[in-house]
Amino acid sequence: MSDLPPPPPPQPGPPAAADRFAEPERSAAGHTDPTTPSDLDPTDIDASGLDAEPLDDRERKLDPRMVIVWRVFGGLSLLFPLTALSVAGYLLVSPAPWAVPATAAIVWIIGVTWYPGARYRAWHWRLTDIALELRYGVLVHRHEAVPYFRVQQIDISQGPFDRLLGLATLQVTTASASGSAGLPGIPAADAPQIRMQLLARAAVAVREQPDEVRDAV
């Protein structure tokens, strides 16, 4: 009996349930969502799989296909109210019953042919060192500057007609009274890259702000 080998040492048992799930919980806690400028690392743009060459600050125009979008939606939005006005004018204006329908037809033609082209020629945008600048407007000229440090979220939206033409709109939500700004007429293939570069610039701008400004944003 004394020649028998000693029993093997006890083997460690399976890890407890808490130990098995500890590492996944830490991984989930350490995950960051790069869609928020305050959490975005500017180097993430290099790992996005996109052409990450920085955009220069030259002034840019919208995609020319936006003229088609504005013509279609402008024609549809004007058609029903102008038709109702024409019918009412024809029935109520007895001295010259055709004056109102003729005027409505002229307004519709201008709204479908001339106005979309003029609107396209007036639209410009560019990325400066501190802000996204938008210039647009035919009758009333508007110049908007969206500071990068106020950018909170950037979404890419596409309607059915936008998808058909391969276009997208960047919706920039800001921490300001204006709330948000829209940049339409962006080629759908370029929209993710522009969005990532805007987010990267916003992340840098937020981190360069004093703590009290950063907390407010």
pLDDT band at residue 198 using 50, 70 and 90 as cut-offs: very high
- Give domain 57-216's CATH architecture: Roll (2.30)
Kindly state the tokens that stand for 37: 């400028």
Percent residues over pLDDT 90 in the chain: 56
Contact 55, 132 (CB under 8 A): no
**Distance (Å) of CA 116 to CA 64, 65, 74, 137, 170:** 10, 11, 8, 11, 20
What mean pLDDT comes out for the span 3-16? 55
164-179 tens-digit pLDDT = 999 999 999 988 766 7
Q: What is the predicted pLDDT for the residue at 42?
A: 46
Model confidence over 130-186: pLDDT tens digits?
Answer: 999 999 999 999 999 999 999 999 999 999 999 999 999 999 998 876 678 999 999
Residue pair 170/190 in contact by the 8 Å Cβ criterion: no
Tell me: the pLDDT tens digits for 44-92? 444 343 445 678 889 999 999 999 999 999 999 999 999 998 888 888 8
- Per residue in 98-107, pLDDT tens? 888 899 999 9
26-42 mean pLDDT: 44
